[in-house]
């Protein structure tokens, strides 16, 4: 896979060639999300650098590192689960199309490509709306709205379960749209929505009348009264205008998050827990950097796992999946300042060192590995050795991560 390619960059904006995104067989459809992960990482870091550079500007909000890491880990949990759960959805869709379709659209037709685009976007509007208006679906979707920040990393907060429930609403499309076309546009529709999760991009002029933009989506994520249950669109904002759910952004400041915000950064708890109260834990800066580094390692590990999965024994894949989930949960306990975080992270680091020692020689690296992979392996080992030493030292000194709770400041805006 070519990292940071022009094609994967274009997929974030739906700027793709129909010819290059048309396939006859499902197995040939790439995972556009995995290919775009490096670009997402670049966007998140660039946005953070911009906000840091403009920190003296009172209109620019600070981007909290703990929230950024938490959002990224929640998105990674969702992607890890898709390694196990993704196949059945498209298998059902393909079965319906093969046996019960009412029309056969040519898979290589430009008309088919555009029909799939409109159908996928139309169905996204209704599945997204259902995720807000049906209680059991909202219980899963609320994780995406749980961040009180609004930036590129917020787009990565995704529910593990809700996608697999609302997928049934896409199944009627199997009567018309070929599976490959739907799979392509399902992914591209989702990727397009990454860049609209930001406060950096303001108005896009005339495009605001047609496309779902950052301005429109800020309203969707707001908890101001006029923002509630508005702007469900994926790519085209016309659906909201047609069905009466459109609301333009106003001049007053938007407050983000749930009406009853969550009080944890731990990704597994966020998937199922009902929000309790607003809080903002402050950790030592080194803890935040530590979580960022190990979160990045987990993301890289997932990308590598995705590409080697077809040739990797199932038991190894399952083991790596469990370790990645364990990693994300452990990072969450650190961000929350849990008293048992030291023990959990100590065990996680020592577990990695032990498994790495068992499976890979420490002195004689496999001669078949490319230089880049050998360097990555050595870097990873070094990070875990240092991390293990840090947490053993912390444990021996009976140190606990301190976590200060900021006082809740009641908003002055009457729209809250």
The 3-class secondary structure across 54-97, one letter per residue, is: CCCCCCCCCCCHHHHHHHHHHHHHHHHHHHHHHHHHHHHHHHHH
pLDDT > 50? residue 408: no
Low-confidence winner among 35-49, 315-329, 368-382 (lowest mean pLDDT): 368-382
Give the separation between CA 309 and CA 317, rounded to whole angstroms.
Answer: 7
pLDDT band of residue 37 (cuts 50, 70, 90) is very high
Q: Treating both helix axes as pointing N-terminal to C-terminal, what angle do 314-336 and 341-359 enclose, rounded to 10 degrees? A: 150
- Mean of the per-residue pLDDT values for the chain? 85
CA 82 – CA 34 distance, rounded (Å): 12
The answer to whether residue 264 scores a pLDDT higher than 90 is no
Task: Give me the residue label for tokens 């403009």.
Answer: 54
* DSSP letter for each residue of 156-175: G---SSHHHHHGGGGGGGGG
Residues 373, 375, 381, 385, Cα dihedral to 10°: -170
Calpha distance 224→248 (Å, rounded):
13
pLDDT at 303 over 70: yes
Span 389-410, mean pLDDT?
Answer: 63
pLDDT tier at 98, thresholds 50, 70, 90:
very high
In this prediction, residues 176-190 reach a mean pLDDT of 96
Lowest-confidence region among 160-169, 276-285, 371-380: 276-285
State how far the Cα of 125 lies from the Cα of 235, in Å rounded to an integer: 9
Query: Across residues 30-46, what is the average pLDDT?
Result: 93
Q: What's the rounded mean pLDDT across residues 43-50?
A: 91
Q: Which residue has the higher pLDDT, 116 or 288?
A: 116
Q: How confident is the model at residue 411 (pLDDT cuts 50, 70, 90)?
A: very low
Binned at pLDDT 50, 70 and 90, residue 237 comes out as: very high
């Amino acid at each position: 896979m070519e990292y940071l390619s022009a094609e994967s960059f274009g997929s974030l904006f739906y700027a793709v060639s129909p010819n290059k995104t048309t396939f006859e067989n499902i197995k040939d459809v790439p995972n556009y999300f995995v290919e775009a992960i490096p670009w997402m990482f670049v966007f998140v870091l660039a946005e953070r650098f911009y906000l840091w550079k403009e920190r003296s500007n009172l209109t620019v909000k600070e981007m909290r590192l703990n929230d950024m890491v938490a959002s990224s880990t929640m998105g990674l949990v969702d992607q890890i689960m898709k390694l196990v759960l993704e196949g059945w959805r498209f298998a059902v869709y393909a079965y319906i199309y093969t046996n019960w379709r009412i029309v056969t659209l040519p898979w290589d037709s430009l008309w088919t490509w555009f029909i799939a685009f409109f159908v996928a976007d139309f169905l996204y509007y209704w599945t997204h709306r259902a995720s807000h208006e049906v209680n059991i679906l909202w219980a899963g979707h609320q994780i995406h709205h749980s961040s009180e920040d609004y930036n590129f990393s917020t787009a990565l907060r995704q529910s593990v379960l809700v996608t697999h429930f609302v997928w049934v609403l896409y199944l009627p499309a199997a009567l018309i749209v070929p599976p490959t076309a739907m799979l392509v546009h399902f992914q591209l529709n989702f990727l397009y929505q990454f860049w609209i999760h930001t406060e950096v991009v303001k108005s896009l002029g005339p495009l605001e009348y047609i496309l779902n933009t950052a301005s429109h989506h800020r309203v969707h994520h707001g908890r101001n009264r006029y923002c509630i249950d508005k702007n469900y669109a994926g790519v085209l904002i016309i659906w909201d205008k047609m069905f009466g759910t459109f609301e333009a952004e106003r001049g007053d400041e938007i407050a983000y998050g749930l009406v009853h915000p969550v009080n944890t950064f731990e990704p597994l708890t966020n998937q199922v827990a009902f929000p309790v109260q607003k809080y903002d834990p402050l950790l030592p800066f080194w803890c935040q950097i530590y979580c960022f580094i190990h979160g990045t390692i987990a993301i890289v590990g997932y990308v590598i796992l995705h590409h080697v999965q077809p040739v990797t024994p199932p038991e190894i894949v399952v083991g790596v999946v469990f370790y990645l989930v364990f990693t994300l949960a452990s990072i969450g306990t650190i961000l929350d300042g849990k008293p048992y975080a030291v023990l959990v992270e100590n065990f996680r680091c020592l577990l990695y060192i032990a498994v790495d020692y068992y499976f890979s020689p420490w002195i004689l690296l496999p001669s078949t590995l490319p230089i880049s992979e050998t360097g990555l392996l050595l870097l990873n080992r070094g990070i875990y050795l240092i991390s293990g030493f840090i947490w053993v030292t912390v444990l021996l000194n009976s140190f606990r991560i301190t976590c200060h709770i900021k006082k809740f400041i009641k908003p002055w805006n009457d729209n809250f």
